[in-house]
Structure 1
Amino acid sequence: MATITARPPARPAIPRLTPRPTGRPGYSMTLERTEESAAVARRATRTTMQCWGLPEETTDAAVAIVSELATNVILHARTGGMRLIYELPARDRVLIAVVDRDARRLPRMRTPDPGADQTGRGLALVDALSDRWGYDRLGSKPWGKRVWAELRADGEQ
């Protein structure tokens, strides 16, 4: 009689992070707009921050920010995938951006109802964890908008 051993579900692989060829350090990657992509984005963010030797506090904040921004794309963008961008604009700054193809749906911070479900808190968390955040319209083709957050890379929040 054969014994069947259950395997845990395979984690989606992290697609290749593309390094910026010149200028300040940076990486980018493109993901599909699926639920699995949020987990991939979190792992890619943690890997990038660790490769840059950033403190655990900065890494954890960056992972939470990317998780919220990627989830917003997954839930609210109407078409296409998403592009993650990581930059070190200065030795003590990290810039994280999530780009999607939906130029018409812009991020809007809401005041969540404490008695309501858990939605509507993402941008408030991004605001709390970052030094500043915002968005840039990029047109309609191929990408629509970039939502970005900047935080200190020295572990001080």
Structure 2
Amino acid sequence: MPATETFRIPKRRRHVPTARQHIRKALADWGITDELADAVVLSANELVTNAVTHCRTPYAQVRVALTLDGPELLLEVSDPDRDRLPQTHESGPDEEGGRGLALVAGLADAWGHRQETYAKCVWARFTLAVTAERAHVPAGL
């Protein structure tokens, strides 16, 4: 059975660090504390920042879900602005932003988005490396 951590934060930039803390704690509880944890937390930071920045629904909440299912880890960030889908673009050298999705694409094994009935969800999937001396998947899963 997969392990899942789900929480919501208000659509405000000041709550992005709270999302990072929740993600890092869930990963640590599952025994994931290495470079993969850093990649997932950085990806979560980018996706949550995008959600709080670009969602135009007032008083919205951003939903973050992290699911560990065998060797796969799925990060999902949802917001109620279902028609504003993420788009990658080329950022110029002087632009301060616009590289978040490219960063997620480089860190995750796959990423994408889907429209749901009342929200959009941007997701990133990571594959856990399982070695003989250290398996990332907890015994109870």
| TM-score, scaled to structure 2 | 0.87
Aligned to 2:110: 132
Tell which has more relative contact order, 1 or 2 (C-alpha 8 A, sep 6+). Answer: 2
Deviation by residue 1:45-84 (Cα, 9 ceiling, x = unmatched):
1101111001411110010000000000111001111000
1:152 is aligned to: 127
Q: Is the 8 A contact 1:69 1:98 kept in 2?
A: yes
- The 1:58–1:155 alpha-carbon spacing in structure 2 relative to 1, beyond 3 Å, is farther
Q: Which runs of 5 or more residues in structure 2 are unaligned?
A: 132-141
Match of 2:31 among 49, 53, 67: 53
Percent identity between the two aligned chains: 32
Max radius of gyration: which structure?
Answer: 1
5+ residue gaps, structure 1, are 1-22
- Please report the RMSD computed on the Cα atoms of aligned residues, expressed in angstroms: 1.5
Query: TM-score w.r.t. structure 1 length?
Result: 0.78
Q: Are positions 1:73 and 2:51 aligned together?
A: yes
**Cα distance change on mapping 1:37 and 1:68 into 2, 3 Å:** same
CA distance in 2, matches of 1:126, 1:97: 12
Q: Distance in 2 between matches of 1:155 and 1:127?
A: 22
Shift of 1:155: 7.9
Shift in CA distance, 54/107, structure 1 to aligned 2, threshold 3 Å: same
